[in-house]
């Protein structure tokens, strides 16, 4: 059949002319390749002009716009004003850099319009293979179940929900938490844990009051002595520890909890051992980082993101559960319209919709598979090792500059530092301004956080494109902005101090 021949009805949304669409599609692809190949010469981020923001307040269109025109608007009004996490000098928050292969895979997945809620289809075999690969990578048994989700916020929620059902029994899904008769459930995570653990407690109906935030030690790791004491006190008071969530790579400083010690405590008190490995877990691919994750193989469930250190384009979160039966117990629900068969397209049970809250879901496994197979795990691991080396390079630069100081130890790839303020100058405000100056300059994008109550300039080096000279440019620019603000401060306080002198 001639591919250019049109068989469209008036209701179809297919193009009238595939040849024209093909040419336009190639232009769009070329534009994206040009963008990715030329990242380094562009600003990391730039403020959105009012006119550009305002242009998207238009009414919903009733008539068609040519694709070429929509594409032009994307190139002119959207692409230049995005977050910039593909850029080698993006070090803000914990964002992955993406890959061209992952981008192409997204196009293929969208072309299939694959819905991975269930049914007997090859796309699901790719997802199952990814579950087996992750079980192997993290030393989980063959009983393991897994599921792609949006991100680790959702993966941690799934982990908490599986732990809750495991503690209260399947009947609790019917009676609700209150009338399940499982006693007063309490959970533990460190004070440095991500806020989504508390959010998961809230969403699960257990409440954040039932989450104990265990203090951290000088290295920002969960204090195990305190954990034991808190567990013991709760048990003595008749409460029931049901979940301990360790973190492999805290979002603020990259610290890794002592997972073996937490596993021991969890075993002693009969609690579920969950690991939030959102960004750090894939450090398992790096021979340098892997030993720091010892004990992760003992987790009952593990949340991780392929879209951070795994460099897969957003979004690609993942939950791995030691025993798939626990996941099924928490989520599988019979429904007539989802009935299974042993043959035909309705075969292949269990389906992903039995393992988590989503029914319709995209083909996240494809971009993850493309990224992994096109680079191989050695190169993926080398990129992770390299980002840790760059963090040590940044630490060395900070230590060599008298105007800068470190605020936390470097565990993996996250560096917290700051510009020293002058006497009488507010250091928190100063460093907050320096980071905003950096953003607006387009030179580099770190973010801020608070470490022991102090505002830190936080550089999370995740992007595989970052090199040492990018780190140097960020440090040089931070120094320049810090000096300028210190001079300005000196100028603004000098009249007052001269008055004092007079």
> Where on the chain is the footprint of ligand PLP (CB under 6 A)?
94, 151-153, 194, 196, 247, 249-251, 276, 278-279, 305, 317
* Minimum distance of ligand PLP from residue 305's CB (angstroms): 5
Q: What angle do CA 325, 328, 330 make, to 5 degrees?
A: 115
Does residue 92 sit in helix, strand or coil? coil
* Minimum distance of ligand PLP from residue 254's CB (angstroms): 9
Is 69 buried (19+), middle (13-18) or exposed (0-12) by CB count in 10 A? exposed
DSSP letters, 270-305, are: T-EEEEE-TTTGGGGGSTTTGGGGTTGGG-SEEEEE
Considering the complex, state which of residue 96 and residue 381 has its C-beta at the smaller distance from ligand PLP.
Answer: 96
* Minimum distance of ligand PLP from residue 422's CB (angstroms): 34
Considering the complex, state which of residue 200 and residue 404 has its C-beta at the smaller distance from ligand PLP.
Answer: 200
Considering the complex, state which of residue 53 and residue 450 has its C-beta at the smaller distance from ligand PLP.
Answer: 450
Structure-block tokens of residue 131: 């579950």
* Minimum distance of ligand PLP from residue 196's CB (angstroms): 5
Considering the complex, state which of residue 180 and residue 197 has its C-beta at the smaller distance from ligand PLP.
Answer: 197
Sign of CA dihedral 261, 267, 271, 274: positive
Per the CB < 8 A criterion, the answer to whether 91 and 466 are in contact is yes
Bridge partners of residue 418, in order along the sequence: 405
Considering the complex, state which of residue 276 and residue 358 has its C-beta at the smaller distance from ligand PLP.
Answer: 276
- Looking at residue 458, the DSSP 8-state letter turns out to be E
* Minimum distance of ligand PLP from residue 281's CB (angstroms): 9
Q: What angle do CA 56, 62, 67 make, to 5 degrees?
A: 65
Considering the complex, state which of residue 101 and residue 257 has its C-beta at the smaller distance from ligand PLP.
Answer: 257
234 alpha carbon, distance to own chain's centre: 32
* Minimum distance of ligand PLP from residue 95's CB (angstroms): 9
Structure-block tokens of residue 467: 């090199």
Whole-Å CA distances, 97 to 110, 151, 256, 259: 21, 15, 22, 28
* Minimum distance of ligand PLP from residue 194's CB (angstroms): 3
Which residues touch 496 (CB under 8 Å, ≥6 apart)?
none
User: What is the number of the residue whose Cβ is closest to ligand PLP?
Assistant: 151
Please state, in angstroms and rounded to a whole number, the distance separating the CA atoms of residues 282 and 332: 28
Per the CB < 8 A criterion, the answer to whether 168 and 192 are in contact is no
* Minimum distance of ligand PLP from residue 63's CB (angstroms): 38
Considering the complex, state which of residue 251 and residue 394 has its C-beta at the smaller distance from ligand PLP.
Answer: 251
Is 113 buried (19+), middle (13-18) or exposed (0-12) by CB count in 10 A? exposed
Per the CB < 8 A criterion, the answer to whether 190 and 166 are in contact is no
Considering the complex, state which of residue 88 and residue 151 has its C-beta at the smaller distance from ligand PLP.
Answer: 151
Considering the complex, state which of residue 90 and residue 481 has its C-beta at the smaller distance from ligand PLP.
Answer: 90
* Minimum distance of ligand PLP from residue 348's CB (angstroms): 28
Considering the complex, state which of residue 222 and residue 475 has its C-beta at the smaller distance from ligand PLP.
Answer: 222
* Minimum distance of ligand PLP from residue 116's CB (angstroms): 19
């Amino acid at each position: 059949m001639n591919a250019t021949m049109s068989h469209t009805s008036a209701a179809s949304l297919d193009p009238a002319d595939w040849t024209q669409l093909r040419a336009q599609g190639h232009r769009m692809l070329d534009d994206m390749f040009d963008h990715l190949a030329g990242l380094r010469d562009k600003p990391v981020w730039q403020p959105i002009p009012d006119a550009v923001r305002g242009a998207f307040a238009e009414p919903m269109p009733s008539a068609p716009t040519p694709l070429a025109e929509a594409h032009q608007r994307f190139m002119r009004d959207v692409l230049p004003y995005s977050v910039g996490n593909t850029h080698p000098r993006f070090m803000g928050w914990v964002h992955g850099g993406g890959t061209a292969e992952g981008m192409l895979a997204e196009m293929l997945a969208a072309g299939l319009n694959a819905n991975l809620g269930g049914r007997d289809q090859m796309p699901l075999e790719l997802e199952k293979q990814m579950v087996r690969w992750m079980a192997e990578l993290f030393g989980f048994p063959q009983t393991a179940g897994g599921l792609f989700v949006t991100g680790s916020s959702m993966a941690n929620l799934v982990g908490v929900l599986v732990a809750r059902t495991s503690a209260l029994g399947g009947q609790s899904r019917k009676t609700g938490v209150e009338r399940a008769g499982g006693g007063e459930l309490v959970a533990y995570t460190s004070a440095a844990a991500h806020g989504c653990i508390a959010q998961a407690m809230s969403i699960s109906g257990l409440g954040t009051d039932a989450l104990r935030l265990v203090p951290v030690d000088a290295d920002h790791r969960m204090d195990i002595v305190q954990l034991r004491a808190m567990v013991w006190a709760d048990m003595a008071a008749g409460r029931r520890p049901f979940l301990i969530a360790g973190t492999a790579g805290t979002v603020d400083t990259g610290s890794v909890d002592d997972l073996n010690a937490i596993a021991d405590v969890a075993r002693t008190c009969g609690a579920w051992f969950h690991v939030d490995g959102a960004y750090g877990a894939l450090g398992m691919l790096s021979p340098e980082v892997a030993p720091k994750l010892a004990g992760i193989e003992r987790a009952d469930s593990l949340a991780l993101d392929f879209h951070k250190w795994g460099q897969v384009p957003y979004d690609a979160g993942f939950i791995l559960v030691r025993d798939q039966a626990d996941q099924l117990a928490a989520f599988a629900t019979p429904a007539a319209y989802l009935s299974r068969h042993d043959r035909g397209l309705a075969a292949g049970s269990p389906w992903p919709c039995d393992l988590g809250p989503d029914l319709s879901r995209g083909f996240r496994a494809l971009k993850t598979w493309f990224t992994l197979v096109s680079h191989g795990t050695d190169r993926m691991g080398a990129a992770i090792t390299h980002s840790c080396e760059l963090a040590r390079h940044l630490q060395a630069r900070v230590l060599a500059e008298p105007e800068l100081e470190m605020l936390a130890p470097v565990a993996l790839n996250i560096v917290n530092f700051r510009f020293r303020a002058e006497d009488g100058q507010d250091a928190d405000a100063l460093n907050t301004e320096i980071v905003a100056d950096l953003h607006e300059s387009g030179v580099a994008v770190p973010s801020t956080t608070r470490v022991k109550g102090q505002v830190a300039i936080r550089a999370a080096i995740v992007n595989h494109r970052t090199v040492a000279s990018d780190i140097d440019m960020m440090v040089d620019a931070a120094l320049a902005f810090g000096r300028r603000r210190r001079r300005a401060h000196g100028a603004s306080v000098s009249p007052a101090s001269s008055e004092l002198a007079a």
